[in-house]
Chains A and B, each alone.
Chain A
Amino acid sequence: MKDALGAPQSLLLLGGTSAIGLATARRLIARRTRTVWLAGRPSPELAAAAGSLRGLGAEVRVVPFDALDTDAHPERLGRVFAEGEVDLVLLAFGVPGDQARDESDPPAAVRVAQTNYTGAVSAALVCAGALQAQGHGSLVVLSSVAGERGRRADFIYGSSKAGLDVFAQGLGDALHGTGVHVMVVRPGAVRPAGAAGRPEAPLTTTPEAVAGAIELGLRRRSETVWVPGPLRLVASALRHVPRPLHRRLPVPRP
């Protein structure tokens, strides 16, 4: 059960090797989280992530999960919910793709869209149904500022996140009043861990900052979270920039 301050006791992380997901898991384990299900494709990275979370004192179970294999989602995820209460589902999987290459390789572009959108839709619907039966819990969906308005630099990834974002907003409204809380998190460009020394680009963020924003959003039961916060105003302004001008704007790079 989540406590009065929104700290969950158990976490299902879909995308068990996601940097933001693992940063959030570490942060929540420092509060109340004792059980973590790491769902992802079996890999040495997933095992290492499980080991690092175990080192923090959590009970970690690894669940084989492939976003593209949507037929297996009900069975795989249903088994997790049968094992115990899940207070928080963090939908953190996604692939950025390679825009330049994917434009000339349609099957690769479709894979990006399927992972980020259809896979996420399937997993989110399965989890939403189980959370609803449970009567409580939060579903946190990692969207992206790239989904806010189409950009030349990353429109394949951006369009998949735009679809997921709208889906999650509607799901949140569908589940309003059922005790289940859906939160959409829209981070700006996320700096990788190795970029610590380089000068910071404006309005970029780190996995730790996103994790902090998720924890705060859970406490406040927010529906939309922007990381960093001022990005909300910037995105709102960009939405109204005339198209010829928007086309020429630089894209912040991590």
Chain B
Amino acid sequence: MAVEPLLLDDDFASLTGAGRTAPSLALLVRPRSAAEAAGALLGRGPRGAIARGRGLAGGDAGQNAGGTVLGLTALDRITGLDRAAGTVVCEAGTELGALARTLLPLGLWPCAGAGRWTAGGAVASGYGQGVEELELLGADGGSRRLRRGDPLFDATVGGLGLTGVVLSVALALRPVETAFLRERTARFPDADALLAHWTGGAPPEPYARARIELTGRGRAVLTTAAPVPYAGLPRGHRARRAPLALPALPGLPLLPRAGGLRPLPGLVRARVPAPFPAYGSGGFVRYRCAVPEGREEALRGLLALLAGRRSPGRAARHARVERVGAGGAGPLAFPVRGWCLGFDAPAGTPGLGRFLDVLDERVAAAGGRVCLAEDGRLRPALLPVMYPRLDAFRELRASVDPRSVFRSDLSRRLGL
């Protein structure tokens, strides 16, 4: 064993997640076809392989130290559209925002949303709703089609890429009449007032997200939005002539937000580069947890802990709270019907590690869980408490991948 100049070879790359913490070196292969992906998988080293999209997971889910990482962003073709059934088939590296921009002129919008992440990444991290069918490359190099309801399908959605490499995805679409949402914001003096409003019979809306200040006065802003039908556009609005046109300039909405109209998410943001996060050189830690419905007092407790006088959580400046309508089906699926709380804290914050461990304990005690796709620091002992069906996942994984070909830094760290 000697120190070898590995970096002379361009194929080796030091990879991190979006949080830019805990880098590790891997052989980064960029297959351009399913056959090349299978070839790279069969040619892997002893430390296994994992698929990676655009590297937007907050933690180490898309890293494989000393092993192979399949960067799938070159697999970005849209291969089929069934307008009658309302589905589109695309390769795993297709960016959901690019897919949405392509489909918008046809009056269609992916139910999985239009983020900057890839379709395969959305499946593996469990964020994507409306996944109908997927093609999975197994450990033996053979691919198989899986439909919703198959146990392997359920384990793959939210399965962190540990069941195989997603090669292509069939996504459900919904019709849209215009490229706009009508946005409403409501302001509350504190988080308690927000939760009282939210639980007090406010009508559910498809997009609802709250932002709570952790410093200062602790105010909360709730933003809700609903798609605008053509008839709902204001009289004389420019969009009446071209309701499905893409916004003209990157970074600028079509029109000033008069009347509370704003473009569908993903149309504008996806065209501009990601904003440089102001977390300093040490990167950041993304914390995202779910708390089940009916345990609002636990959510209040978490928020109070975050905004406490000497809390390291205050370094995050604000927290996001969303309402989650339905739980996930798979054994490692993150969504729980209830609440989702998230924030990004600079990794250099003193005392952050111990503080997040305390949050983990509270979340687990409330029957909630931490999102593994964003996680970079969970204590492995808490995993079976948060994910009670972990053993089912391990059994399934042992049956489809007995030699643990699919491995990531996350699976090593948590002993998945």
Question: Hey, which bits of chain A sit against chain B, CB under 8 A?
Answer: 1-7, 9, 31-32, 74, 78, 85, 125-126, 128-130, 132-136, 171, 174-175, 177-180, 219-221
- Measured in the bound complex, the distance between the Cα atoms of B3 and A126 in whole Å is 8
- Residues of B near A174 (CB, < 8 A) are 3, 5
List 9 other contacts, CB 8 Å, given A126-B1, A136-B22: A3-B22, A4-B59, A4-B60, A7-B353, A7-B377, A134-B65, A136-B409, A178-B7, A179-B65
Within 8 A of A (CB), among B50-108: 59-60, 64-67
Chain B nearest CB, measured from A125 CB (Å) = 7
- The interface size bin for chain B is 35 or more
- Residues of B near A175 (CB, < 8 A) are 3
Question: B357: nearest residue on chain A (CB-CB)?
Answer: A31
Question: Does the CB pair A136–B65 fall under 8 Å?
Answer: yes
B25 at the interface (CB under 8 A from A): yes
Question: Does the CB pair A5–B3 fall under 8 Å?
Answer: no
Question: Does the CB pair B2–A129 fall under 8 Å?
Answer: yes
Question: Does the CB pair A134–B353 fall under 8 Å?
Answer: no
- Residues of A near B376 (CB, < 8 A) are 3-5
Within 8 A of A (CB), among B8-48: 12, 14, 19, 21-26, 47
- Measured in the bound complex, the distance between the Cα atoms of B246 and A24 in whole Å is 57
Within 8 A of A (CB), among B90-138: none
Q: A7-B353, A78-B1 are in contact. Are A136 and B377 (CB under 8 A)?
A: no
- Measured in the bound complex, the distance between the Cα atoms of B412 and A95 in whole Å is 36
Question: Does the CB pair B412–A5 fall under 8 Å?
Answer: no
- Residues of B near A31 (CB, < 8 A) are 353
Question: Does the CB pair B347–A5 fall under 8 Å?
Answer: yes
Chain A nearest CB, measured from B314 CB (Å) = 17
Question: Does the CB pair B22–A135 fall under 8 Å?
Answer: no
Q: A126-B1, A132-B4 are in contact. Are A179 and B23 (CB under 8 A)?
A: yes
Question: A134: nearest residue on chain B (CB-CB)?
Answer: B66
- Measured in the bound complex, the distance between the Cα atoms of B251 and A73 in whole Å is 59
Chain A nearest CB, measured from B133 CB (Å) = 33
Q: Which residue of B12, B23, B282 has the most chain A CB atoms within 10 A of its CB atom?
A: B23
- Measured in the bound complex, the distance between the Cα atoms of B2 and A126 in whole Å is 7
Mark B204-247 against chain A: 1 for CB-CB distance below 8 A, else 0: 00000000000000000000000000000000000000000000
B295 at the interface (CB under 8 A from A): no
- Measured in the bound complex, the distance between the Cα atoms of B375 and A4 in whole Å is 9
Question: B7: nearest residue on chain A (CB-CB)?
Answer: A177
Question: Does the CB pair A179–B412 fall under 8 Å?
Answer: no
Question: Does the CB pair A5–B6 fall under 8 Å?
Answer: no
Question: Does the CB pair B377–A4 fall under 8 Å?
Answer: yes
Q: A74-B1, A125-B3, A179-B14 are in contact. Are A5 and B65 (CB under 8 A)?
A: no
Chain B nearest CB, measured from A218 CB (Å) = 11
B266 at the interface (CB under 8 A from A): no
Q: A171-B3, A220-B348 are in contact. Are A5 and B353 (CB under 8 A)?
A: yes
Question: A221: nearest residue on chain B (CB-CB)?
Answer: B282
* 21 intermolecular pairs with C-beta atoms under 8 Å apart: A3-B22, A4-B22, A5-B352, A5-B377, A6-B22, A9-B413, A31-B353, A32-B379, A128-B3, A130-B1, A135-B26, A136-B22, A136-B66, A136-B409, A171-B3, A174-B5, A177-B14, A179-B23, A179-B66, A220-B282, A221-B282
- Residues of A near B2 (CB, < 8 A) are 125, 129
Within 8 A of A (CB), among B304-338: none
B285 at the interface (CB under 8 A from A): yes
Chain B nearest CB, measured from A71 CB (Å) = 14
**CB < 8 Å: which of B25, B60, B353, B409 contacts A178?**
B25
- Measured in the bound complex, the distance between the Cα atoms of B7 and A132 in whole Å is 11
Question: Does the CB pair A219–B3 fall under 8 Å?
Answer: no
Q: A7-B353, A136-B65 are in contact. Are A179 and B3 (CB under 8 A)?
A: no
- Measured in the bound complex, the distance between the Cα atoms of B412 and A132 in whole Å is 17
Q: Which residue of B4, B19, B64 has the most chain A CB atoms within 10 A of its CB atom?
A: B4
Chain B nearest CB, measured from A129 CB (Å) = 3
The 10 A-B residue pairs whose C-beta atoms are closest, nearest first, are A4-B376, A135-B66, A129-B1, A179-B25, A135-B65, A1-B413, A136-B65, A136-B24, A4-B21, A3-B377
- Measured in the bound complex, the distance between the Cα atoms of B12 and A232 in whole Å is 35
Within 8 A of A (CB), among B378-416: 379, 409-410, 412-413
- Measured in the bound complex, the distance between the Cα atoms of B338 and A13 in whole Å is 46
- Measured in the bound complex, the distance between the Cα atoms of B36 and A21 in whole Å is 47
- Residues of A near B1 (CB, < 8 A) are 74, 78, 126, 129-130, 133
**CB < 8 Å: which of A129, A135, A220 contacts B67?**
A135
Q: A32-B379, A179-B23 are in contact. Are A1 and B409 (CB under 8 A)?
A: yes
Question: Does the CB pair B412–A85 fall under 8 Å?
Answer: yes
Chain B nearest CB, measured from A117 CB (Å) = 18
Within 8 A of A (CB), among B248-300: 282-283, 285
- Residues of A near B412 (CB, < 8 A) are 1, 85
- Measured in the bound complex, the distance between the Cα atoms of B411 and A85 in whole Å is 13
Question: A215: nearest residue on chain B (CB-CB)?
Answer: B353
Chain B nearest CB, measured from A41 CB (Å) = 23
- Measured in the bound complex, the distance between the Cα atoms of B26 and A135 in whole Å is 7
- Measured in the bound complex, the distance between the Cα atoms of B282 and A105 in whole Å is 49
Question: Does the CB pair A2–B22 fall under 8 Å?
Answer: yes
- Measured in the bound complex, the distance between the Cα atoms of B6 and A171 in whole Å is 14
- Residues of B near A130 (CB, < 8 A) are 1
- Measured in the bound complex, the distance between the Cα atoms of B372 and A60 in whole Å is 29
- Measured in the bound complex, the distance between the Cα atoms of B1 and A31 in whole Å is 31
Chain A nearest CB, measured from B311 CB (Å) = 16
- Measured in the bound complex, the distance between the Cα atoms of B261 and A178 in whole Å is 48
Q: A132-B6, A178-B25 are in contact. Are A1 and B14 (CB under 8 A)?
A: no
